[in-house]
A = this chain, B = another copy of it.
Amino acid sequence: MADRLSDSERIAALSALPDWQFETQPGSIRRAFKFADFPSAFAFMTRVAFIAEKSGHHPDWSNSYNRVVITLTTHDAGGVTAKDIAMAEAIDKVAV
């Protein structure tokens, strides 16, 4: 199981992920995405789905037409871990 990052570890990790916001309750990071249309949004979600399944770490996310909001947390650890940071980095790559 991944350990929850300390405040300083999390702040350092998020400095390289400027589009992700930390949410104190329950300890998660979140990013909102906007695409040209629904197929573009869902194509992005499909790429993220494969990353999630491969890594065994799944987002909490929502979609409304061309908008996707992704929240990452490690439920077992009760907060943000290195798994969430790695997932955010991978998501940012496919969102470009």
Q: Give residues in A with beta carbon < 8 Å to B.
A: 38-39, 42, 45-46, 49, 52-53, 58-65
CB atoms of A64 and B53 under 8 A apart: no
For A39, A42, A45, the residue with the greatest tally of chain B CB atoms inside 10 Å of its CB is A42
Contacts of A46 in B (CB 8 A): 42, 46
CB atoms of B64 and A52 under 8 A apart: no
CB atoms of B53 and A38 under 8 A apart: yes
Distance in Å: Cβ of A5 to nearest Cβ of chain B: 21
Contacts of A59 in B (CB 8 A): 63
Q: Which residue of B lies closest to A66 (CB)?
A: B58
Complex formed: what's the CA distance from A46 to B46 in Å? 8
Complex formed: what's the CA distance from A45 to B62 in Å? 12
Contacts of A61 in B (CB 8 A): 62-64
Distance in Å: Cβ of A30 to nearest Cβ of chain B: 13
Complex formed: what's the CA distance from A63 to B58 in Å? 9
